[in-house]
């Protein structure tokens, strides 16, 4: 029996993590229609912070605050060993790789962004748990000579077709480093290609005309991510950008050049100044 009582899935790991891989392997209870076959994915990179967060979320609310950090690390040490074996048994032909990335690196990537302040006892407890447990897990994996690596600001370039299991949207800005980058979502099990990454922008969902918003450094800073990056104020700037995306027929794959041209030729002076500020 696990020393931390939590919800697990068909794969004996924390439920959010299990459901992600169940989606990857087409055994999710609410199986999404995936945009790519899992056999095309060369590796899945798993963020240790996301493993820690998913464990915290899998514990009953009234028990989460009393989670033992050391025991949680041991549970996750078991998870990182179970996952590659379980995925191989299910027929996954790629690799499972684990990484630790600093959540503070985004502050160097986006120096003009606004930042969310962690508020509320549960959010603070989760943040402390995630930070300590992920770092200690990394150290123990290194000591055990397991396949784990650290990312400072961004991965090296030249990587192949990779799916990221992460809850940090800013890591999607690593896209140029890969031949192809996909997002594997916890819980939903969805594999998301970059034309649907707009759902990681705060307040944008699979509805209305939100699908017309590309995920870029600029739009991430304007809308925020609901986690680390706070939205820009006033709200009328976000509304203007959404309207502009509709008027100019943007899509999730609209490039930086068209975005720049449309903002600078059709946006208000305030939106133009914001673009120049955030793109410096």
Q: Provide the domain limits for residue 213.
A: 201-278
Query: 88 with 205, same domain?
Result: no
The CATH number of the domain holding residue 159 is 3.40.50
pLDDT over 70 percentage in the chain: 97
Q: Return the pLDDT at 210.
A: 65
Give pLDDT tens digits for 103-125: 888 888 899 999 999 888 889 99
Q: Return the pLDDT at 1.
A: 39
Residue 241 lies in a domain: yes
Q: Which carries the bigger pLDDT value, residue 210 or residue 5?
A: 5
Q: Return the pLDDT at 153.
A: 86
* Confidence check: pLDDT of 35 > 80: yes
Give pLDDT tens digits for 234-260: 999 999 999 999 999 999 899 999 999
CA 172 to chain centre: 7
Query: 96 with 155, same domain?
Result: yes
The Cα 143–Cα 145 span in angstroms is 5
Query: 104 with 153, same domain?
Result: yes
The Cα 141–Cα 81 span in angstroms is 10
Q: What mean pLDDT is predicted for residues 215-225? A: 96
| Count of structural domains within the chain | 2
Query: 94 with 205, same domain?
Result: no
Query: 127 with 243, same domain?
Result: no
Residue 105 is given by DSSP the state T
Instruction: Quote the strand ranges of 143-203, DSSP E.
Output: 148-151, 159-165, 178-184, 191-192
| Structural domain ending residue among the three candidates 172, 192, 212 | 192
| Structural domain ending residue among the three candidates 157, 192, 227 | 192
Query: 138 with 266, same domain?
Result: no
| Structural domain ending residue among the three candidates 168, 192, 216 | 192
Chain mean pLDDT for the chain? 94
Whose CA is closest to 16, among 189, 193, 197?
Answer: 189
| pLDDT interval class at 208 (50, 70, 90) | low
Residue 8 lies in a domain: no
Highest mean pLDDT among 100-114, 146-160, 161-175: 161-175
């Amino acid at each position: 029996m696990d020393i931390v009582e939590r919800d697990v899935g068909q794969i004996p790991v924390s439920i959010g993590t299990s459901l992600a891989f169940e989606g990857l392997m087409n055994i999710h209870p609410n199986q999404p229609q995936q945009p790519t076959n899992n056999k095309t994915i060369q590796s899945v990179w798993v963020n240790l912070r996301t493993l820690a967060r998913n464990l915290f979320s899998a514990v009953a609310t009234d028990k989460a605050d009393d989670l033992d950090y050391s025991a949680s690390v041991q549970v996750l040490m078991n998870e990182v060993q179970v996952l590659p074996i379980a995925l191989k048994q299910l027929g996954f032909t790629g690799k499972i790789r684990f990484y630790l990335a600093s959540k503070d690196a985004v502050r160097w990537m986006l120096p003009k962004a606004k930042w969310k302040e962690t508020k509320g006892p549960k959010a603070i407890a989760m943040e402390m748990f995630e930070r300590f447990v992920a770092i200690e897990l990394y150290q123990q994996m290194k000591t055990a000579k397991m396949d784990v690596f650290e990312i400072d600001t961004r991965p090296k370039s030249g990587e192949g077709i990779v799916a990221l299991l992460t809850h940090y949207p800013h890591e999607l800005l690593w896209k140029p480093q890969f031949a192809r980058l996909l997002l594997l979502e916890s819980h939903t099990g969805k594999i998301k290609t970059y034309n649907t990454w707009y759902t990681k922008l705060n307040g944008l969902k699979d509805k209305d005309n939100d699908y017309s918003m590309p995920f870029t450094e600029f739009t991430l800073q304007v809308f925020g991510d609901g986690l680390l990056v706070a939205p820009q104020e006033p709200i009328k700037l976000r509304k203007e950008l959404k309207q502009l995306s509709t008027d100019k027929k943007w899509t999730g794959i609209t490039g930086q050049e068209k975005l720049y041209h449309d903002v600078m030729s059709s946006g208000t002076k305030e939106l133009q100044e914001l673009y120049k500020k955030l793109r410096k």
